[in-house]
Structure 1
């Protein structure tokens, strides 16, 4: 018993305590150890008694309805906002009249002085109910959604997304089916929740746009796969093959009919293009473990597959944050020479001119020197930068040759003296702006695909845009094995600069080939440490670009399997935005897939 406890006992008994012996240093040390042990045990007991954080928070939001004539509109006001990309405003349009209606949905942010608008036009037939989604950049935290139809008063509704800090998850299914599958219950306190979930109860009303899935780290299919419409499955397939993570809690036979790249494997999670598909046939612990593993992320990793950087004061400080275009960086050395020459002419030069020619000559010379200096700067801008759009492009592409398509995650840096024309892109393409740069956005029309208008590349302003796309493609690498030789034909649509193929249990190096050219592969010794794909990624991309393309880069580092290839090509690359005429100032593209005979 410690001396403090003995003293307390004597006081309770009402007797005088015995004389306290002088404590030796050894005794004090032993007593300190005992006290520390008691405190540690009490702390451990308190931790063990603390409730474990296991619940989820329902962030599906609430709806409000409006009526204008025979048009009834229901708007969801506060649905969950993902970590990057776009959040969706879902609107139900119910035309109860005998004539079709052309409805326009438009959104304008309320914070700041952002002039841009997001819009989509929808045709609603007679006596038809249509559920439509409007993708909105996550940098816009609030705004007014306007719904207009000819002959009807507009409907204006303020919508604010749910921006909880917990990991956002999109669930296709009801809360009941989700809870029974993963054995995670709803938590009333957001502080005790593992993640926030946005539920879409009716699988037929799920989004058909890749943009509305791309921002979620995980999408959970808790409903019956057979009840998911074909066009929703197509969007889920695009989401996963371009780097998403899909968790299926009720895997059914014939899953490959919905996800053509899916193959049964011993593990619960299998690679799928640039992403993964996880399935758990058993209920409860297995599905819960799979979901937890899917949501796990290193805090030091970037949030999304591609993370473009907005203009920041420290962009010129550090190799990872510099602009990717030389034309976007001010020529400080040359400008310093011009400014120094102007200072000499306007200072000592003016004083010497005043002594020789008088004050009148100075009054004429100084404005003339200023005009010449300004003209020199303008001439430099016109002759060097010109009026073309300058771009640097970096991408990683997974080729699905059996289905003639390409899934690409890319990054584009843009700069122009004059703003270019609007950029029209396919429906399965998503342009990702910097996450928190509300002013670095553009007008977007999602009516037929995506049209990016004013603000995409403002005049004399550096911009970075990420790009995620799944488009039809006939590009391929044709390989034929003849004895001990390997014949390779470049059908990748761009000059092949470097590549590797694993064929017949051997690793082969592919020579540099022009588009359409044929060559002979050379046997390559296996690397002692890193695989060739990992090494090629490290050589191809600088650290700053790897950081911006972090998610896709990690998928490309896996070792090559039998019949797989990885190649580095030049040119504008396979990203759909390459359709815009531009002067290419830098480009690196990696393509990975299976060789074609």
Structure 2
């Protein structure tokens, strides 16, 4: 045993580890004074120590080892074309995958080619795999031996589905699958090809195992969609071809996309850029992105270096001017939603459950069925109880139905809010609206123009819409289910003759409201002076009141935006920037100017803020 103990002791002393930790070298040991000082500082001010650690981590030596390099390449997400089999005279090719829009709609390319000598009507339909996804269709006229490329604009909530082709000449229908996935990088639709994109941005194609800064889908200018809805859901739309070579209707859609809140980049700015982009501000501020209506535009005047600078400055500027919200069912069982912030609640009070009235009815029902049923059983017997309880339940249900019909009726209730820019030189309105709807009966189909886009909230997972793009715009069925509160956003560029007419009469400034809606409040700047406007009906002439204390406070102090609009707006106060000479901003009542304003509704509230230039004498 003695020899065994000596052997174990020798092994423990010779083995590395906790039994014999290695001694630190003198150069690696911190000075005692500095160590005590750090310990005292950590006890007295932990925040100071954390700041010191962050400062050390930000040094070039540490950053070079710990911070991952910024990806500078791009990925091509066009997907591959797959052909349908056994379709006889018709050959159909579809992209098996493509990049999904963050909001709005994703363009899915379909190519049709006929070998027949007579024209045919062909319908292409995309149906989602999930229940409640709905369907998207487009019907085209295919001429004799014609090759036609078209796009199905698929709602962004649909991530996969099957494509079906139908024609009167087919004995059977054929289907094929397609998948849409969202890029983690910046999403860009490029009007042009890969070669032009790489030349204009100096971005290389990323390898499969490398991250990328931009995810791209390339569209041919001759085949690209002409609908505004195809572009509004992406972070960037870039034009690498010469602007003069683009079809006029395509450039109209791209310019409208920037005006309603999108980001448009032009790699080869034309000489007549002010005619093609009339809302560009005058002057140079050195920023690659220029405000353009409700959106922004970047002109790569410095070649690839300018495009690269614009791409690097775009990552923090995603989103659209307005964003509708989705509410869970739990928000409607309580009289007030969980969030108590101004504007965060639903827009329509009648969309919330009337708990007060329901509690009274339930209490009366309980009294009649409980003590009342016991009294009835004792006085009239069990048979009377079997008849009385169902009768009381039926009367209670009829009272609930009658209360709903008398108070809410069968109309669609709505609350609407919007921002609108009045472009008088081109007689058009650029508007972004958000609205809440509630109806006892499901709404019928609605029509959205080609230069308009209907947007759901980001949280909406199931549309249930049946969308048809055959008529140039969108025809949607199922947009508003029965007894369901829903919010929708609208983007549109619409022709209009609305205006605000100003004339001088002696020392007074008179303003005629020709904006098409009652005026709540407004302000304008004329001759270096600021004036305020009171309430006035449509067509009424008002006397503008001079404001002496305008320079002491910003515009948002005089014109308060509606809380529901502020809560669903990306940059609410940017609409209330200082007025320029001859400019006005007003708040109007009514349904607003977007395409959904014509929907028959009972308006709970409407607040629409319009900004533009006055029509002077």
Regarding TM over 0.5, the answer is yes
Preserved contact between residue 77 and residue 89 of structure 1 (Cα < 8 Å):
no
Cα distance change on mapping 1:205 and 1:449 into 2, 3 Å: closer
Cα distance change on mapping 1:586 and 1:96 into 2, 3 Å: same
Preserved contact between residue 85 and residue 435 of structure 1 (Cα < 8 Å):
no
Preserved contact between residue 57 and residue 190 of structure 1 (Cα < 8 Å):
no
Q: 2:117 aligns with which of 98, 122, 130?
A: 98
Residue of structure 1 equivalent to 2:106: 87
Preserved contact between residue 56 and residue 197 of structure 1 (Cα < 8 Å):
yes
Matches within 5 A, 1:270-281: 270-281=290-301
Report the Cα distance in structure 2 between the residues aligned to 1:41 and 1:559, rounded to whole angstroms. 42
Alpha-carbon deviation of 1:3? 7.2
Alpha-carbon deviation of 1:456? 1.1
Q: 1:458 aligns with which of 478, 481, 484?
A: 481
Residue of structure 2 equivalent to 1:183: 202
Preserved contact between residue 57 and residue 63 of structure 2 (Cα < 8 Å):
no
Q: 2:310 aligns with which of 286, 290, 298?
A: 290
Partner SS for 1:238? helix
Q: Which runs of 5+ in 2 are unaligned?
A: 1-21, 42-51, 332-336
Q: 2:562 aligns with which of 531, 534, 541?
A: 541
* 1:76-127: CA deviation from partner (whole Å, max 9, x where unpaired): 221111211111111122233322221111111002x226221111112223
Cα distance change on mapping 1:159 and 1:103 into 2, 3 Å: same
Alpha-carbon deviation of 1:490? 0.6
Tell me which moved more, 122-131 or 64-73.
Answer: 64-73
Residue of structure 1 equivalent to 2:71: 53
1:475 corresponds to 2:498 = yes
1:349 corresponds to 2:395 = no
Q: 1:26 aligns with which of 16, 33, 54?
A: 33
Preserved contact between residue 59 and residue 162 of structure 1 (Cα < 8 Å):
no
Preserved contact between residue 227 and residue 472 of structure 2 (Cα < 8 Å):
no
Report the Cα distance in structure 2 between the residues aligned to 1:447 and 1:59, rounded to whole angstroms. 26
1:524 corresponds to 2:547 = yes
Residue of structure 1 equivalent to 2:570: 550
Tell me which moved more, 258-267 or 56-65.
Answer: 258-267
Partner SS for 1:87? strand
Q: 1:125 aligns with which of 137, 143, 158?
A: 143
Preserved contact between residue 275 and residue 555 of structure 1 (Cα < 8 Å):
no
Alpha-carbon deviation of 1:429? 1.6
Residue of structure 2 equivalent to 1:232: 250
Residue of structure 1 equivalent to 2:582: 563
Alpha-carbon deviation of 1:386? 0.7
Q: 1:412 aligns with which of 427, 435, 460?
A: 435
Cα distance change on mapping 1:52 and 1:363 into 2, 3 Å: closer
Alpha-carbon deviation of 1:289? 1.2
1:390 corresponds to 2:409 = no
1:5 corresponds to 2:12 = no
Partner SS for 2:206? coil
Residue of structure 2 equivalent to 1:171: 190
Residue of structure 2 equivalent to 1:11: none
Alpha-carbon deviation of 1:179? 2.4
* 1:465-490: CA deviation from partner (whole Å, max 9, x where unpaired): 11111111111111124554221011
Residue of structure 2 equivalent to 1:17: none
1:309 corresponds to 2:309 = no
Alpha-carbon deviation of 1:360? 3.6
Report the Cα distance in structure 1 between the residues aligned to 2:505 and 2:292, rounded to whole angstroms. 31
Partner SS for 2:297? strand
Report the Cα distance in structure 2 between the residues aligned to 1:7 and 1:118, rounded to whole angstroms. 72
1:592 corresponds to 2:615 = no
Preserved contact between residue 269 and residue 299 of structure 2 (Cα < 8 Å):
yes
Cα distance change on mapping 1:7 and 1:220 into 2, 3 Å: closer
Preserved contact between residue 443 and residue 478 of structure 2 (Cα < 8 Å):
no
Q: Which runs of 5+ in 1 are unaligned?
A: 9-19
Tell me which moved more, 422-431 or 405-414.
Answer: 422-431
TM-score, normalised relative to structure 2: 0.86
Report the Cα distance in structure 2 between the residues aligned to 1:488 and 1:239, rounded to whole angstroms. 32
Aligned residues: 570
Q: 2:241 aligns with which of 216, 220, 223?
A: 223
Residue of structure 1 equivalent to 2:46: none
Alpha-carbon deviation of 1:47? 2.6
Cα distance change on mapping 1:26 and 1:280 into 2, 3 Å: same
* 1:290-333: CA deviation from partner (whole Å, max 9, x where unpaired): 222233238xxxx4332222231453211354321122111010
Preserved contact between residue 84 and residue 304 of structure 1 (Cα < 8 Å):
no
Cα distance change on mapping 1:507 and 1:24 into 2, 3 Å: closer
Report the Cα distance in structure 2 between the residues aligned to 1:526 and 1:99, rounded to whole angstroms. 74
* 1:447-503: CA deviation from partner (whole Å, max 9, x where unpaired): 114454432111111111111111111111111245542210111111011111111
Alpha-carbon deviation of 1:548? 1.9
Residue of structure 2 equivalent to 1:505: 528
Report the Cα distance in structure 1 between the residues aligned to 2:315 and 2:591, rounded to whole angstroms. 34
* 1:522-546: CA deviation from partner (whole Å, max 9, x where unpaired): 11235456532x3466x2311x432
Residue of structure 1 equivalent to 2:339: 318
Report the Cα distance in structure 2 between the residues aligned to 1:243 and 1:481, rounded to whole angstroms. 36
Alpha-carbon deviation of 1:342? 0.7
Matches within 5 A, 1:132-151: 132-151=150-169
Preserved contact between residue 424 and residue 449 of structure 1 (Cα < 8 Å):
no
CA RMSD of aligned residues (A): 2.8
TM-score, normalised relative to structure 1: 0.89
1:496 corresponds to 2:514 = no
Report the Cα distance in structure 2 between the residues aligned to 1:554 and 1:135, rounded to whole angstroms. 33
Alpha-carbon deviation of 1:573? 1.3
Cα distance change on mapping 1:96 and 1:262 into 2, 3 Å: farther
Alpha-carbon deviation of 1:206? 1.9
Alpha-carbon deviation of 1:142? 0.5
Partner SS for 1:204? coil
Report the Cα distance in structure 2 between the residues aligned to 1:30 and 1:4, rounded to whole angstroms. 21
Cα distance change on mapping 1:97 and 1:579 into 2, 3 Å: same
Partner SS for 1:203? coil
